[in-house]
Structures are given as structure tokens and as C-alpha cells.
Amino acid sequence: MRCEECQYYTYDEDYEEYVCDMDMDEDDYARMISQGSKDCPYWKSGDEYAVVKHQM
């Protein structure tokens, strides 16, 4: 996975580390883990300029 590029990968000052900040419940998390796929279904580009690149 490319978590470092994901919009939901943010720094948590309480834990002092980067975490996935996607709002999902236990069922969503279990479904994601059980899929066996390496691709995260919630991944979203954190590149703010990606949209602008498509408009040019």
C-alpha cells in the first residue's frame, strides 16, 4: 500500500506517529483485512494538485 501518499495518513500527536485517519468501524476494518488484497479500498490521493493537473 502507498499509505504515505494517502489523504487519510496523518500525524497523530498523541501517539507521536503517522496513522490512518479513515473513519471506519470494526466491520469495515475486518472486511478490508479479510479481503487478502494489498490494495486499500479507502485509499485517496493526498496530492492536492492532482485535480489541477487534470484541468490543465
Confirm if 43 and 6 have CB atoms less than 8 A apart.
yes
Q: Note the pLDDT tens digit of each residue in 22-50.
A: 998 999 888 888 887 678 888 888 777 76
Model confidence, pTM: 0.65
Structure confidence at residue 9 (pLDDT): 92
- Give the number of residues written for the chain: 56
* Predicted pLDDT of residue 46: 78
The pLDDT value given to residue 17 = 96
Q: Provide the residue range defining the domain that includes 16.
A: 3-55
The residues facing 12 across adjacent strands are: 17
H helices of 1-56, in order, are: 26-34, 50-55
Report how many domains make up the chain: 1
51, pLDDT greater than 60: no
Q: What's residue 41's pLDDT? A: 84
